[in-house]
Every structure is written in C-alpha cells, then in structure tokens.
C-alpha cells in the first residue's frame, strides 16, 4: 500500500527573467474571472443593473488584495514589516491572509452598497459569498502548488512529503523533503467545496434563502471559518510566535467570524424574506370622473 505521497509539483509556470509566474497567481486570476462570470449570471437572473457587476468587480479586487496583504502584515508579521515598511508593497514575494481579505471585502461592500446599489449590504454579501467560496478552493490549491501551509506529520497513507527548500530547488538544488504531513491545503479546499455547493443550492434551488438577508453570508462564515478553526489543530504554525499560544492566530481570528455566522443565520431565519424592486400593484380602483365634468368635456360648441 502507498505509505505517503512525494509532492514534487513545481510552483512556477515559467520565468520571465527574474520574474516568476506561479500557479498560485494564475489560480487567483481564475478565481476573479469565474467570480465575475458568476456574479454577472446572478445579477442577470435578478434583473438588476448590469453595470453593478463591473463596479463590484473593482471594489472586490482592490479590497481583497489590500485587505489580505495588510492582514498578513499586522496579524502575522508586523515585527518584520515595521522595520522594513516598504516591503509591505512586495506582494509578489507572498504573504496574504484570508481573514484580512474577508475584512477588506466587508468594508468594500459597505461602500459599494452605499454609493452604488443603495441596498442593504447584506444583499450584496449574500450573493458575493458564492464566488468567494469558489475562490477559496483555488487559493488553497495554489498553496498546495507552493508547498506551503501544510500540517503536522502523519502516518496516514495520504500524507504528503513537501519540499522545504523550495526556492533553492527551483534553481537546481537537491530537494529537502518534510516528513509525511497532513495535506491541510486539500482538507480546506474540500471543506470550501462543500460550502460552495451548499451556497449554490441555496441561491439557485431554494425558494427564499437568497431573500433572507444574512442567511447565506452566515452559512458561508460558518462553513469557511469553522472548518478553518478545526483544521488549524493539525496544521503547522505559520509564524514562530504561535508556538506558545493555546489557539494559533488563525483560530483566534476565525472565532468572531463563526459567531457572526451563527447570529446571521439565526437573524436571517427569524426575519421574513425581503424582496427588492417588487412590481407595485394598486388594489384601489380608480375614481370615476364626476358627471358634470364628463358632460362638459363631451358638450359640443354651438
């Protein structure tokens, strides 16, 4: 039987001089493109303004990149970046945090809802979480290609031996492999896939789920961050300071999102569905014109 898997997939697609094009970046770009297609289809289904999609696309891209980068900087590596603040701009060197991206998206959608849709921001978030869940699958797949964010050692037959000296190996050095470890990138990707399928069902098949403001967002938060919280127990720490923590940084950051998800699900189920742009039906019959007015209008000049 197979005792472990030796993972030798290269993270780079090709090099342009010193500039490296990675699978991670390609998956990130695909996630945005597929997200745009999904949101366009959903907005067309609900017959809202087509230009809302374009505006949302810009808001989300900017918020995701900035939020995820600053999340990594402040949550995981502030001691390093406070000494070299210009390195914060070097996104191509890696370092993005999903919790920071989530916060950035929420803030961006708040602005988008205020200045573009003029609707409750939950209306947008309930729809946006469908492509975001799909994007999370691709991002964790990108982490797998990068040989990063893996778990503790394991004797399970699907343990992966990752390359530790990935940069040196890319430039010709012999690989140094880890002990067989939990492929937590795959665990998370599968949990996000399950969340994506549930959200897709709620939007396209359930009669009222997408109209219960906050419900789909709540399902997304629970499905995404509860699985993240649990998988972190078997994941290697991302930073050295986490070694002394009872729960690591990813778990502490996940707790408020899970609690918010529970509250949103309860709130969404408790309140009646909310529909926008319903056709106005006037049930009051029109008043008849007074008889004398009718006679005046119908009287011929002599």
17 band by pLDDT with thresholds 50, 70 and 90: confident
- Burial grade of 82 (CB within 10 A; 0-12, 13-18, 19 or more): exposed
Distance CA 125, CA 245 (A): 32
Collapse the DSSP code of 164 into the 3-class scheme (helix H, G, I; strand E, B; otherwise coil) and give the result: coil
216 band by pLDDT with thresholds 50, 70 and 90: very high
Lowest mean pLDDT among 111-120, 259-268, 276-285, 291-300: 291-300
pLDDT of residue 288: 52
* Inter-residue long-range contacts of 194-198, CB under 8 Å, 24+ positions, other chains counted: 194/223, 195/133, 195/136, 195/219, 195/220, 195/223, 195/224, 195/227, 196/130, 196/133, 196/134, 196/136, 196/137, 198/223
Strand partners of residue 160: 5, 181
Distance CA 204, CA 221 (A): 19
For 3-14, what is the mean pLDDT? 93
Please spell the DSSP secondary structure of 226-271, one letter per residue. Answer: IHHHHHGGGB--SSGGGGG-SS-HHHHHHHHHHHHHHHHHHHHHHS
132-147 burial by CB neighbour count: b if 16+ within 10 A, else e?
Answer: bbbbbbbbbbbbbbbb
Task: Take residue 279 and report the two structure tokens written for it.
Answer: 């056709």
Percent of the chain with pLDDT over 70: 89
Task: Take residue 218 and report the two structure tokens written for it.
Answer: 């709540």
When mean pLDDT is compared over 13-17, 22-26, 112-116, 186-190, the highest value belongs to 186-190
Q: What are phi and psi of 235, to 5 degrees?
A: -105, 145
Distance CA 210, CA 122 (A): 10
For 13-30, what is the mean pLDDT? 87
pLDDT of residue 31: 94
Please choose, from the candidates 20, 24, 105, the residue with its C-alpha nearest in 3D space to the C-alpha of residue 61: 105
Q: Report pLDDT digits (tens) over 146-198.
A: 999 999 999 999 999 999 999 899 889 999 999 999 999 999 999 999 999 99
Distance CA 188, CA 167 (A): 25
CB 53 within 8 A of CB 39: yes
132 band by pLDDT with thresholds 50, 70 and 90: very high
Q: Is 47 left (phi over 0), alpha (psi -120 to 50) or beta?
A: left
35 band by pLDDT with thresholds 50, 70 and 90: very high
Q: Report pLDDT digits (tens) over 64-114.
A: 888 888 887 887 777 777 777 777 776 666 677 777 888 888 999 999 999
Continuous H helices in 14-76: 23-45, 51-76
281 band by pLDDT with thresholds 50, 70 and 90: very low
Distance CA 158, CA 6 (A): 10
Sorted by sequence, the CB contacts under 8 Å of residue 43 that are 6+ apart come out as 49, 50, 52, 53, 127
């Amino acid at each position: 039987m197979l005792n472990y898997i030796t993972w030798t997939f290269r993270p780079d697609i090709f090099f342009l001089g010193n500039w490296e094009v990675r699978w991670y970046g390609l998956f990130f770009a695909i996630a945005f493109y597929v997200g745009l297609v999904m949101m366009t289809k959903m907005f067309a289904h609900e017959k809202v303004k087509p230009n809302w999609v374009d505006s949302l696309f810009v808001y989300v891209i900017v918020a995701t990149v900035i939020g995820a980068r600053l999340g990594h900087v402040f949550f995981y590596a502030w001691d390093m970046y406070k000494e070299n603040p210009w390195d914060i701009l070097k996104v191509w060197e890696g370092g993005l945090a999903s919790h920071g991206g989530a916060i950035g998206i929420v803030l961006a959608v708040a602005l988008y809802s205020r200045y573009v849709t003029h609707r409750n921001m939950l209306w947008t978030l309930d729809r946006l979480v469908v492509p975001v869940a799909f994007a999370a699958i691709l991002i964790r797949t990108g982490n797998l290609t990068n040989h990063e964010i893996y778990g503790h050692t394991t004797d399970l037959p699907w343990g992966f031996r990752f390359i530790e000296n990935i940069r040196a190996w890319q430039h010709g050095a012999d690989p140094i492999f880890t002990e067989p470890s939990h492929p937590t990138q795959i665990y998370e990707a599968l949990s996000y896939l399950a969340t994506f399928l549930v959200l897709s069902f709620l939007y396209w098949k359930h009669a009222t789920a997408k109209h219960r403001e906050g419900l789909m967002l709540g399902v997304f938060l629970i499905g995404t961050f509860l699985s993240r919280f649990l998988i972190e127990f078997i994941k290697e720490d991302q930073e050295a300071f986490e070694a002394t923590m009872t729960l690591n940084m990813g778990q502490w950051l996940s707790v408020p999102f899970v609690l918010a998800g529970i509250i949103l699900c309860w709130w969404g189920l408790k309140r009646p569905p909310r529909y926008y742009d319903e056709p106005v039906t006037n049930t009051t019959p029109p008043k008849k014109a007074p008889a004398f007015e009718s006679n005046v209008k119908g009287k011929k000049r002599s």
